[in-house]
């Protein structure tokens, strides 16, 4: 494993305590530098973002090659469209808006304290720790970095050990753009990640599974480090019985099949009216065939990230079949798939019982559960009986029904008549709720997550505060009598 920057080679036998000491030394250096150099101006922040943009764009093809190497195969266009482009957009959006975000926000003062005034001043927290995942290893590293830079912070990044080639390119990009005391990258295995989570950052953002999120939060609690957790869960799709499947299913297929379903906001299951279930299955087959006429050697269809996750997904399907559940593999070219390719065709699992692993775990692969519902009420109940999801997708043109679903369900985010694309809106915050996460980033909310919004009260030269100090007399008695009337 390596620790970069500074680029110091370390073997897998390096004691965890030594690795932690090295990371802690880097963190302390960055915190000390932040204090010495003070709060960066808007111009300095913009210049930092420009440096990162130029370095990122100059290495975009290397990133696509590295991501494909890490996955076994990953679509070049998916990497450019879903990883690189959102990273660029996030950096440009932060650059465009940070001067506005930095302005103090005036707040009203209770009349009894006037002519004093009050405002909120955003201030950089210091050093932000970012633990990024493997599924979108570029965007989920650079997206948080964009917000943290806009807020005037320094950053330490720990990329996933499951995408080592991509992590090395990211480290190269950040070394080109920044000095070691501005942005630092830590590369290593899960033990390094655990030590990283236990560092006394000024804020820590983690993107990954709910189970690991619990461990990260526990490690951060030792330092009372505030955390933003971007987790996942089982994101539902509800299709109204009055909504044409010809409009819903293409979005459902792309949402499920992009990155072979390895997306934290990918549809996990779909709720469809009983009388439309068979039509949905037919339409799903047709739309997969249209988008992916073949799968085995299709450059547009990605592989599963590694053997462990491939075996996990296959085990879900084996368990479902063993229990007599209908499993429909959508394989338009009737191809055979080698274990080495780690490609799994889009697969439907029809009305699985609740005690199956696939019914409880976040799937994170090209498997879609299909449930039948009797009424919109039963569909809403199905969602609400389960942990709160990161995303919810509802297809309906009836405004009353849309308002009802928005009102009666709680999720991290929602798309109406579409899947996935709420996350691509740079002016919308992104975050989970309950088991799917806590806190937000993206947009102004990301800037605020990585800032201390400091409340400030300014007293006027002429003020009446002497009336509020002892010794108390008739004046304050009358004033309190007036203020405390019902």
> Which residue out of 230, 257, 415, 448 is catalytically annotated?
230
Closest CA to 33 of 195, 186, 122, 155: 155
* CA end-to-end distance (rounded Å), the chain: 67
Asked whether the beta carbons of 48 and 95 are under 8 A apart, the reply is no
Asked whether the beta carbons of 397 and 243 are under 8 A apart, the reply is yes
What span, in angstroms and rounded, lies between the C-alpha atoms of 269 and 352? Answer: 11
Residue 203, φ and ψ in degrees, nearest 5? -165, 150
Asked whether the beta carbons of 412 and 387 are under 8 A apart, the reply is no
Across 305-420, the runs of DSSP E, i.e. the strands, are 326-329, 347-350, 367-373, 391-395, 413-416
Asked whether the beta carbons of 175 and 183 are under 8 A apart, the reply is no
Which string of b and e fits 163-200 if b means at least 16 CB within 10 Å? bbbbbbbbbbbbbebbebbbbbbbbbeeebbbbbbbbb
**Burial class of residue 103 in the structure, from the number of CB atoms within 10 Å of its CB (0-12 exposed, 13-18 middle, 19+ buried):** exposed
Which token pair is 412?
Answer: 């991290």
Does the active-site annotation cover 257?
no
Residue 451, φ and ψ in degrees, nearest 5? -125, 155
Q: Contacts from 29-33 at CB under 8 Å and sequence distance 24+?
A: 29/180, 29/181, 30/126, 30/127, 30/154, 30/156, 30/181, 30/182, 30/184, 31/126, 31/127, 31/154, 31/202, 33/154, 33/181
Pairing of strands 347-350, 326-329: antiparallel
Instruction: Return the bridge partners of 134, or none.
Output: none
> Which residue out of 78, 182, 257, 264 is catalytically annotated?
264
Work out whether the CA dihedral 23, 26, 32, 36 comes out positive or negative. Answer: negative
Closest CA to 141 of 189, 78, 98, 184: 184
Closest CA to 162 of 181, 141, 137, 130: 137
What span, in angstroms and rounded, lies between the C-alpha atoms of 15 and 446? Answer: 35
Does the active-site annotation cover 264?
yes
Active site (catalytic) residues: 230, 264
């Amino acid at each position: 494993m390596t620790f970069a920057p500074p680029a110091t080679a370390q073997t897998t036998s390096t004691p965890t305590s030594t690795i932690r000491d090295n990371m802690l030394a880097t963190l302390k250096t960055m915190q000390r530098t932040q204090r010495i150099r003070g709060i960066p101006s808007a111009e300095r922040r913009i210049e930092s973002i420009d440096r990162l943009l130029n370095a990122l764009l100059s290495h975009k093809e290397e990133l696509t090659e590295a991501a494909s190497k890490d996955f076994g195969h990953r679509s070049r266009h998916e990497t450019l469209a879903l990883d690189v482009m959102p990273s660029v957009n996030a950096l440009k959006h932060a650059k465009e808006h940070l001067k506005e975000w930095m302005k103090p926000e005036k707040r009203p003062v209770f009349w009894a304290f006037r002519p004093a005034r009050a405002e909120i001043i955003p201030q950089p927290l210091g050093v932000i720790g970012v633990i990024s995942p493997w599924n979108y290893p570029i965007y989920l590293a650079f997206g948080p970095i964009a917000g943290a830079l806009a807020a005037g912070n320094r950053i330490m990044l720990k990329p996933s050990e499951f995408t080592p080639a991509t992590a090395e390119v990211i480290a190269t990009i950040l070394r080109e753009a920044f000095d070691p005391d501005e942005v630092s990258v830590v590369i290593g295995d899960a033990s390094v990640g655990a030590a990283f989570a236990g560092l006394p950052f000024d804020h820590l953002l983690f993107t990954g599974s709910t189970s690991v999120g619990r461990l990260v939060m526990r490690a951060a609690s030792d330092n009372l480090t505030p955390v933003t957790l971007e987790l996942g869960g089982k994101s539902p799709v509800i299709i109204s019985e009055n909504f044409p499947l010809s409009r819903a299913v293409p979005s459902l297929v792309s949402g499920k099949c992009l990155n072979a379903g390895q997306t934290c906001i990918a549809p996990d299951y779909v709720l469809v009216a009983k009388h439309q279930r068979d039509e949905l299955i037919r339409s799903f087959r047709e739309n997969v065939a249209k988008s992916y006429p073949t799968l085995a050697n299709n450059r547009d269809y990605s592989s599963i990230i590694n053997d462990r996750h491939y075996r996990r997904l296959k085990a879900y399907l084996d368990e479902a079949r063993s229990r007599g559940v209908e499993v429909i593999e959508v394989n338009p070219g009737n191809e055979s798939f080698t274990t080495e390719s780690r490609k799994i065709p889009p697969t439907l699992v029809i009305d699985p019982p609740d005690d199956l692993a696939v019914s409880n775990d976040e799937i994170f692969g090209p498997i879609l559960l299909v449930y039948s519902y009797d009424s919109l009420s039963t569909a809403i109940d199905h969602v609400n009986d389960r942990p709160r999801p990161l995303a919810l997708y509802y297809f309906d043109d009836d405004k009353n029904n849309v308002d009802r679903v928005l009102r009666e369900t709680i999720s991290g985010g929602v798309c109406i008549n579409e899947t996935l694309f709420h996350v691509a809106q740079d002016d919308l915050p992104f975050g989970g709720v309950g088991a799917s996460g806590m806190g937000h980033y993206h947009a102004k909310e990301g800037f605020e997550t990585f800032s201390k919004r400091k409340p400030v009260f300014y007293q006027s030269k002429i003020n009446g505060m002497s009336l509020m100090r002892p010794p108390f007399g008739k004046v304050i008695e009358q004033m309190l009598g007036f203020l405390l009337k019902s």
